[in-house]
Amino acid sequence: MEESELKRAFAAITSFKENPFHPLVWIAGEPIFGENVFIGAMSEVNAVKVRVEIGDNCDIASFVSINAADSHRKTLGIADDIDRRDIKIEANVFIGGFCMVKGGAHIGHHTVVAAGTIVGPGYIPPYSLVYGNPMQVKPGYYKDRVESGVREKARRGSVG
């Protein structure tokens, strides 16, 4: 079976929409994807009734949950509705396998989220390293590396 056939068949037997990623990626709602985004198998992006935006050149590994909805208060009977909050992932972000990005998260560009991290609500500055549960943030961790890499690429381009 070709991949396009698998995608159509999988969409037909599940609630998963066909998507430009792996056939086993679940997309709910209408998230906004930039250019050159990769999402691995068994990941989900839940943007039902909220804005979820993933910028250019993001790499999201397998088994990642980007889920803007939190229903635990409703389930416990202490709220009437599901809590839904927007999510923004800026350009050039890597999210490792088995991570969860919760509603209200805003991840700055050129950030790495280590495998297994639970990203809670709040702003993470650009160039950060994010890891753990509870989440720890090292702001600016990749800034010098990214900037020196850009300078090196420019130098090589001008030499050759």
Give me the CATH number covering residue 117.
2.160.10.10
Write the pLDDT tens digit of every residue in 124-134: 999 999 999 99
pLDDT at position 10 is 74
Nearest-angstrom CA–CA distance, 64 and 119: 11
pTM of the predicted model, to two decimals? 0.89
* Collapsed DSSP state (helix, strand, coil) of residue 113: strand
Nearest-angstrom CA–CA distance, 100 and 44: 10
Q: Please say whether the dihedral angle defined by the alpha carbons of residues 73, 77, 78 and 80, taken in this order, is positive or negative.
A: positive
Amino acid at 109: H
Domain extent for 55? 3-159
Top-confidence residue, 149 or 112: 112
- Mean pLDDT, residues 30-35 taken together: 97
Top-confidence residue, 52 or 11: 52
CB atoms within 10 A of CB 140: 13
Does the pLDDT of residue 160 top 70, yes or no? no
Top-confidence residue, 153 or 89: 89
- Mean pLDDT, residues 49-74 taken together: 96
Domain count along the chain? 1
Categorize the per-residue pLDDT at 158 as very low, low, confident or very high, splitting at 50, 70 and 90: low
